[in-house]
Amino acid sequence: MTLNMGERIRELRRERGFTQDEVARRLNISSQAVSKWENAASYPDLELIPPLAELLGVSIDALFREDDKEETQIICERADALLLDPAHVREGLPLLREAVIRHPFHTGLLRRLGTALFVAYQTPEDLGKTGTNENGEETVVTHGEPWLLREAIAAYERALNSAKEQDERDDIVKSLTAAYALAGQREDARRMAEQQSRMAFSREIMLADIEEGAKREEASANALINLLVQTAALVLKSIGCVRREDEDELRRIHADRCVSTARFIESLFPDGRCGRLHFFIAQLYYYPTALYSALDDFEKADACFVPMWRHEKANRVYGEGGSYRYTSPLFSKITEKEPRYVKYEPTKQFFTDEYKAHLREAGLQP
């Protein structure tokens, strides 16, 4: 493999958003010297290698490696596979932490580290288990250690600072807003929400506007699907901010909002074939199930558990392979060529022991 240090310096400089003049100023050299490095007309003096590597946010070894991108891509792919299943998210934390040390300004690694920490905080291994606090009061585990959320916020903030593409920034802004809100940092959450691009949810609508005939109908149907996905995601993010210490009425309002959203989406698919929406509908029913059961309202919890499990099973069928054709009137123009099953099994992990026992007694436990 041919070594091309100049190309590596140029690539890393651009990733950091530096100009040649900025690099030269920080290293107290001429901009012509930086230009010569990047054009392979000369190489940095040995004493400049350590501060140059530090400035570009990589190890000295990384300056000489052309397979750096391949390494980060492999790590991102491994992390993505673990992030699909909350039960394995913690397995990815050591991998991502080490990768971020080696590549401290890699937006994709930072964003994935933030997500892994955020999910680990929301889904601890003992979630739903009961115990007693130092005052002898009964408690239920609702989240992980606070430092997980603090570290997630720090990772998201660093990712946002290094992100260049608007779509990537929009994704990070949404995640960071939810993390701030969950941490009780309401002003930070509002400030972050204001940074969201007004065009963030309009791509599909724009595509529909430029098509004609059958393609326009297909694009419009896809736009509606994506709008429903975004709506479900926003509702789910809002309920993620609900805390156990919040008033019961507030928690019921959030639960009712989830149920209403799920039923509205279901109404647009009278044949019950919801495609990729099965995954989101299952989640929209899961959270009310957990909230109502925590409030000892098992009747309402059961009314959400049954459709939740039905949509989870349909979600598995959706991702079994082969193309998937929507047959509901509004979406009959859409055929998904490679539907993907996103594993989601909350019934095995997140409910209290009391509600699990109730499910078994009622014959509802799958």
Query: Across the strands, what pairs with 325?
Result: 335
Measured between alpha carbons, how far is 111 from 117 in angstroms, rounded to an integer?
Answer: 10
Measured between alpha carbons, how far is 145 from 149 in angstroms, rounded to an integer?
Answer: 8
- 364 versus 323: the higher-pLDDT residue is 323
193 burial (CB, 10 Å; 0-12 / 13-18 / 19+) is middle
- 63 versus 150: the higher-pLDDT residue is 150
* Range scoring the smallest mean pLDDT among 97-106, 145-154, 267-276: 97-106
Does the pLDDT of residue 166 top 80, yes or no?
no
- pLDDT score of 210: 46
pLDDT tens column, 208-249: 554 566 777 787 888 888 888 888 888 887 776 665 555 677
What's the mean pLDDT in 286-303? 85
CATH assignment of 5-66, among 3.40.640.10, 1.10.260.40, 3.40.50.300, 1.10.1200.10:
1.10.260.40
What's the mean pLDDT in 333-350? 66
pLDDT tens column, 124-145: 776 667 767 667 777 766 677 8
Measured between alpha carbons, how far is 43 from 21 in angstroms, rounded to an integer?
Answer: 17
Mean predicted lDDT score pLDDT of the chain: 79
Q: Are 304 and 272 in contact (CB under 8 A)?
A: no
Residue entry with tokens 């639960």: 255
What's the mean pLDDT in 283-304? 86
Measured between alpha carbons, how far is 23 from 11 in angstroms, rounded to an integer?
Answer: 13
What's the token pair of residue 80? 């993505």
Does the pLDDT of residue 366 top 50, yes or no?
yes
Q: Are 86 and 144 in contact (CB under 8 A)?
A: no
- Residue 188: CB atoms within 10 Å: 17
Does the pLDDT of residue 21 top 80, yes or no?
yes
- 218 versus 269: the higher-pLDDT residue is 269
77's CB contacts (< 8 A; 6+ apart) are none
CA within 13 Å, CB half, 121: 22
Residue entry with tokens 């724009």: 206
- Residue 233: CB atoms within 10 Å: 15
Measured between alpha carbons, how far is 106 from 114 in angstroms, rounded to an integer?
Answer: 12
- pLDDT score of 152: 92
Measured between alpha carbons, how far is 45 from 295 in angstroms, rounded to an integer?
Answer: 67
| DSSP secondary structure letters along 115-163 | HHHHHHHHS-TTTT-EEE-TTS-EEE--S--HHHHHHHHHHHHHHHHH-
- pLDDT score of 205: 52
- pLDDT score of 128: 63
- pLDDT score of 66: 54
- pLDDT score of 1: 35
Quickly state the pLDDT bin for 263 (edges 50, 70, 90): very high
Task: Give the whole-number percent of the chain exceeding pLDDT 70.
Answer: 81
67-129+139-200, CATH topology level:
1.25.40
117 burial (CB, 10 Å; 0-12 / 13-18 / 19+) is buried
- pLDDT score of 65: 61
Q: For the chain, report the end-to-end CA distance as a whole number of angstroms.
A: 55
pLDDT tens column, 49-95: 888 888 887 777 667 665 566 778 888 888 888 777 777 788 888 88
Quickly state the pLDDT bin for 3 (edges 50, 70, 90): very low
H or E element that contains 336: strand 335-336
